[in-house]
Structure 1
Amino acid sequence: MRMYFVGIDLGTGSTKAIAIDETGNTLASVNKHYPTISPQQGYSEQDPELIWQAFVYCLKKITADVGYPPNAISFSSAMHSLVPVNQNGEALMNAILWADGRSGDIAAKLRESDEGEEIYRNTGTAVYAMSPLCKLIWLRENQPQIFNTTHKFISIKEYVWFKLFKVYEIDYSIASATGMFDILELQWYAKSLEKAGINASFLSEPVYTTHYRTGVTNEDIKSLFTHTTFVIGASDGCCANLGGDAIKPGVAALTIGTSGAVRISSNRPIYNYKAMTFNYLLRSKVFICGGAVNNGGAAVDWLIKNFLELPEINKDAYKQLFSSIEKVKPGSDGLIFLPYLFAERAPVWDAKSSASFINISAMHRKEHFLRAALEGICFALYDVLKAVEQPEQPIEHIVISGGFITSAIWVKMLADITGKRLVISQTDDASAIGAIYLAMEALGLDTPALPNNTGNVIVEPDMELHRFYDRLFDVYSKLYENIKASVHQLYDLNQL
């Protein structure tokens, strides 16, 4: 039997698994969805037990499809989740997810304090509602009965890992996204813990991303994986850069899914407190730096629903959207969109932010609004790219992935706005493949050049259009700061 490896990606809306043999051939893949819960506005939660069940389903299904258990299983996982558990590892409440905004006021206050920048520079995590540090402070202040009875505060990956081995361990990558981990000293950061009102005993033991265990204790699956090695892996963003071959100097990774992100690899943190670029660990002294935006595919779905007024969001809906904007020239005849429909993270970091169309005139039609919206999403990601790009190491090309790569006009728009050569990744799931790379590294094996990473499509920018877009971006980049006070006033009025 040939060796093979499984990458598991514990995501926000689903758990995905992909099986790859040692030569890089894909053997099988599986996906299991679960719901996100929003008990009130601004809240985003998930039942961690459903994530565990999806994980078990994916493992059993992919093993059955291949016909025998894998040599190793490795993890990618969404960041910034928080699950309070009791001494038996049972969740005391739903997992609070990255998109949850309940601690927004706490984060804003901390960000404006003297401690804010110090915490950011030591932990590499933006001071924002997504941060588990801010979630912990909120929990202590608003749900003391849960806070005071919690045995450990963990993430969704730690929840699954504990069910497998009955130990609390957290990889450096997930730890570096908590706002409580010192990314240079590789230990829990005392000032953050003091701010949260806990000590290190309430958190898991930090370990390398190639840390592994054998001997599953869970009765449901231990007989199936007696000889399988489980590698703890890293976060989804770090794994995506690794799996998408974007860890070399001069290469960035850009993803547009529901949200969006720009990430580069660096041998040191890249600090920018104004834009609050993140610095997450892939390995010791290998940092994945960048920024994430909340408004990618989610903003496009809003457009389809409210501008095209289509009853269902499907491939035909996207086709109609992209077809309608082809008749509009670049720049949308002066119409600009600030795409902050779902608040915004980098580089705005404002839980009260909202979207705006600027410079509307009588000449503008529905298709102008549609094109301006896509341009606005690209501008938002270009804003992050400019914040993370270093003068001594300019970005030569960007590896792009996510659902938007199926639209030639959107991809070309991104190339023209950024002025960068784009490489369209043919990897179906870079995060899961990155996790597999970590498994092979842990076992001392060479990682293959996966077939999915070959034959990538190259898209070159039109530099004349880029110079035009740069002038438009100069206007875009100043707009939100000019209207921010009014946006906050309207937000507060709307809460009355």
Structure 2
Amino acid sequence: MKKYMIGLDIGTTAVKAVLFDAKGTYIDKETGNYPLHTPDAETAEQDPDEILGRTFEAVRLLVARNGCGDDVEFIAFSSAMHSMILLDGEGRRLTECITWADSRAQDYADRLNEGDGLEIYRRTGTPVHPMSPLVKLLYFKNEVPELYSKIGKIVGIKEYIFARLTGKYAVDRSIASSMGMMNLETSGWDREVLEMLDLTADQLPELADTTEIFAVNKNPASELGLHQETKLVIGASDGVLANLGVNAIREGDIAITIGTSGAIRTVIDAPQTDEKMRTFCYHLTPAHYVIGGPVNNGGVILRWIRDELCQQEIGEADSNGLDPYEVMTKAAVDVPAGSNGLIFHPYLAGERAPLWDSKAVGSFYGLTLSHERRHMIRAAMEGVVYNLYSVYLALREQMTEVHAIKASGGFARSEMWKQLMADVFGEKLSVPKSYESSAFGGCILGLYAIGEIDDLRDVDRFIGEDDAYTPDEQNYMKYQDVMSVYIEIGRSLEQFYGRMHELRN
């Protein structure tokens, strides 16, 4: 094997090209940012050619800065899920890149869930929700039939970029299994779904195993500064690769990620769905599947609290050269567990797991004159973790036992966040010493693809010792009392989400 490998992680708002040596040691990273266009409350689109340009630029700059163009064994791909770009028969764009956050198809998700939605979920593993390309396609079929009739190919952002590198439209089975269109048992496109959509398999990319290796074409290799023999490992989705990247690959291991959004996942050896459709089931390899739930409302909640409620903390941070979040968490850390009876439901961006309702809205409950801003900050942080814990409870029903909970994401830089999660979950929380878990997970999959490792569980030799956080028993008992109220209030409020949506519109 050559000296280096690159993990390329194409996220919702940024692409990261991450360089590792052959032993898995982090070397360098280049990030390219791009906007999410939200002209109204339901639309969430991006310019796929802008993302393509930022991706090429990130790889080119990383390679040039490290002078490693001839020494990269492979690039392994990771990508956000559920994006959709419609192309005509000549490969020209009919749409922008429609992201997972786009909710225009909510009415079609509701109608499907009133009919065959649960059965489709059982076959495909993707909850019926407007994030899903299946539901997005139903929207376009019925709302924009003239455009729909012109579809030549349906791709996501990774397939769009991959086609520019290889000249082929291919989708890995991990991304495909998050489209709501791949049958988990056959690992092929679901015939009943295609019939419902009036589509053929030819209008979809060719399915590929996550370990499949492709050749890069001469022109893009030259543009990126890479040797043309550099391998391209098609890889998987960012969520399933994050499990690999934090060494949560064994039975009973759970990975939790909180960035702008969040997710909780575990790896199993055969497809499995939830009778209440609270969790997803996505493909990693033929012997590995990932079940879990994504949440819309992670770090974005604290950002909203910062921008809308914490001007004083922002000013203090500016005066002292600090990060505003550091000032905010310092204010919240001395507030007792449970925030003096203040409960926050964090559904400011609708919600996926465990509700799967894009009309869900957030709320503070229990406000009194005794509450201060610091209570609201802590309650918001607790609300994010309560929501993840709700997904954990659903996931736990599908597991025999839990051996380890491993955390990653931007929140893992905060001591308060990590201790809070240990206290709410009542379990020891480990934070592995890994860098850019999805990109690194892609590289581990790449090493497996080229035969450098024989088993994905060999990832443990590439990751340093974990930092560990033990729950405070008294806080855990308090949070158990709060969680029962949190869940009961949440159920009571669900009946108003649709009416609140009508009031806002």
Instruction: Give me the TM-score of the superposition, normalised by structure 2.
Output: 0.94
**8 A Cα contact 1:275 1:346, kept in partner:** no
Paired position in structure 2 for 1:334: 341
Paired position in structure 2 for 1:57: 57
Gaps of 5+ in 2: none
Gaps of 5+ in 1: none
1:388 aligns to 2:399 (yes or no) = no
CA distance in 1 between partners of 2:145 and 2:22 (Å): 50
Q: 1:273 to 1:288 in 2, by over 3 A?
A: same
CA distance in 1 between partners of 2:164 and 2:92 (Å): 10
**8 A Cα contact 1:215 1:226, kept in partner:** yes
Q: Tell me how many residue pairs correspond in the alignment.
A: 494
CA distance in 2 between partners of 1:451 and 1:321 (Å): 37
**8 A Cα contact 1:254 1:399, kept in partner:** yes
1:413 aligns to 2:404 (yes or no) = no
**8 A Cα contact 1:89 1:162, kept in partner:** no
1:222 CA displacement = 7.7
AA aligned opposite 2:58: C
Q: 1:430 to 1:223 in 2, by over 3 A?
A: closer
CA distance in 1 between partners of 2:164 and 2:460 (Å): 31
1:223 CA displacement = 7.3
Query: RMSD over aligned Cα, in angstroms?
Result: 2.0
1:273 CA displacement = 4.1
1:194 CA displacement = 2.1
CA distance in 2 between partners of 1:40 and 1:185 (Å): 39
1:489 aligns to 2:499 (yes or no) = yes
Matches for 1:440-451 after TM superposition, within 5 Å: 440-446=447-453
Q: 2:308 aligns with which of 306, 309, 330?
A: 306
**8 A Cα contact 1:262 1:381, kept in partner:** yes
Aligned-partner SS, 1:50:
helix
Cα offsets for 1:114-148 (capped at 9, x unmatched): x1111001100010010000011111122223211
CA distance in 1 between partners of 2:330 and 2:80 (Å): 33
1:157 aligns to 2:126 (yes or no) = no
Paired position in structure 1 for 2:472: 462
Cα offsets for 1:393-442 (capped at 9, x unmatched): 22232110111112212211110100111111322201001111121111
Deviates more, 1:102-111 or 1:268-277: 268-277
Paired position in structure 2 for 1:474: 484
CA distance in 1 between partners of 2:377 and 2:182 (Å): 42
CA distance in 2 between partners of 1:24 and 1:251 (Å): 21
CA distance in 1 between partners of 2:370 and 2:497 (Å): 26
**8 A Cα contact 1:28 1:65, kept in partner:** no
Deviates more, 1:209-218 or 1:161-170: 209-218
**8 A Cα contact 2:101 2:131, kept in partner:** yes
Deviates more, 1:22-31 or 1:152-161: 22-31
> Identity percentage over the alignment?
35
Paired position in structure 2 for 1:44: 44
CA distance in 2 between partners of 1:145 and 1:392 (Å): 46
1:102 CA displacement = 0.7
Q: 1:490 to 1:65 in 2, by over 3 A?
A: same
Instruction: Give me the TM-score of the superposition, normalised by structure 1.
Output: 0.95
CA distance in 2 between partners of 1:88 and 1:224 (Å): 28
CA distance in 2 between partners of 1:139 and 1:217 (Å): 36
1:238 CA displacement = 0.9
Matches for 1:75-474 after TM superposition, within 5 Å: 75-113=77-115, 115-219=116-220, 221=223, 224-309=226-311, 316-390=323-397, 393-446=400-453, 453-474=463-484
CA distance in 2 between partners of 1:21 and 1:428 (Å): 13
Deviates more, 1:103-112 or 1:82-91: 82-91
Paired position in structure 2 for 1:31: 31
**8 A Cα contact 1:24 1:451, kept in partner:** no
CA distance in 2 between partners of 1:6 and 1:177 (Å): 24
Q: 1:222 to 1:22 in 2, by over 3 A?
A: closer
**8 A Cα contact 2:121 2:277, kept in partner:** no
CA distance in 2 between partners of 1:221 and 1:90 (Å): 22
1:111 CA displacement = 1.4
AA aligned opposite 1:208: D
AA aligned opposite 1:100: D
CA distance in 2 between partners of 1:30 and 1:451 (Å): 25
